[in-house]
């Protein structure tokens, strides 16, 4: 039950911190408007990114707790443990990305507002952060696929929920290869579904 609560509480914190209407568009607008929004709402930008980190840490802890409940038949318990470890390692990369964004995006916004050139530093920074993000997303996607399979075949949550979580994780990985990007919040949906199902008694 503790694991299930953590799987729900982590993403819930992110949702609460991200519910600030002026920032809804920050992920979809062009670069200039993106930087303008961050400059105008720097504190909120920090809270939103901190929410990503909190969601990741809470979900990693929830998966760790959940791993102890998965049946050991045919090794699915070991798969779950390995997946939880990989998820935690990938989450460390994501926490690094959001930590960098908290500091550098407002700085870039101030430089642009002041008319200060940002190149080549901005391109180098984006390349480094993009590499970390890609590693995080693919490793997390793989871990979530393993989690879904372990739960579906080894028990722990209702099979339809486990298979749906697996499908979403697969779509995230395929989507990244197809579009070279995926919104990171989607990665919290599989574990959120599992947590809600467990709290509802669907096991």
Q: Which domain holds residue 133?
A: 2-199
Given this model, what pLDDT does residue 128 score?
Answer: 96
> Whole-prediction pTM value?
0.93
Each residue's pLDDT tens digit, 150-198: 999 988 899 999 999 999 999 999 999 999 999 999 999 999 999 999 9
Report how far residue 153's alpha carbon sits from residue 83's, in angstroms, rounded to the nearest whole number: 14
Q: Which residues make Cβ contacts (< 8 Å) with residue 93, sequence separation at least 6?
A: 132, 133, 135, 136, 139
Please check the confidence at residue 71 and state whether its pLDDT lies above 80.
no
Triad 79, 82, 87: Cα angle to 5° = 120
Please, is 120 exposed, middle or buried when counting C-beta atoms within 10 Å of its C-beta (0-12, 13-18, 19+)? Answer: exposed
The tally of domains found in the chain comes to: 1
Could you give the residue ranges of the DSSP H alpha helices within the chain? 2-18, 31-40, 42-67, 76-113, 121-154, 159-179, 188-199
Does position 136 have pLDDT exceeding 80, yes or no?
A: yes
What is the total residue count of the chain? 203
Give 30-55 pLDDT, tens digit per residue.
999 999 999 999 999 999 999 999 99
């Amino acid at each position: 039950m503790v694991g299930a609560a953590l799987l729900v509480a982590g993403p819930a914190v992110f949702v609460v911190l991200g519910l600030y209407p002026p920032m809804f568009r920050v992920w979809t607008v062009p670069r200039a408007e993106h930087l303008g929004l961050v400059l105008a709402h720097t504190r909120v930008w920090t809270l939103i990114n901190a929410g990503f980190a909190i969601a990741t840490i809470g979900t990693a802890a929830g998966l760790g707790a959940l791993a102890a409940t998965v049946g050991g038949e045919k090794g699915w318990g070991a798969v779950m443990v390995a997946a939880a470890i990989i998820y935690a390692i990938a989450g460390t990369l994501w926490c690094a990305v959001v930590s960098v964004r908290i500091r550098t995006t407002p700085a870039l916004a101030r430089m642009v507002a002041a008319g200060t050139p940002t190149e080549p530093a901005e391109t180098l920074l984006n390349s480094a952060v993009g590499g970390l993000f890609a590693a995080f997303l693919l490793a997390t996607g793989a871990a979530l696929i393993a989690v879904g399979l372990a739960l579906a075949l080894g028990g722990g949550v209702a099979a339809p929920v486990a298979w749906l979580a697996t499908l979403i994780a697969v779509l995230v990985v395929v989507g990244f290869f197809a579009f070279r990007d995926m919104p990171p919040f989607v990665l919290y949906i599989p574990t959120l579904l599992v947590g809600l199902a467990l709290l509802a008694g669907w096991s």
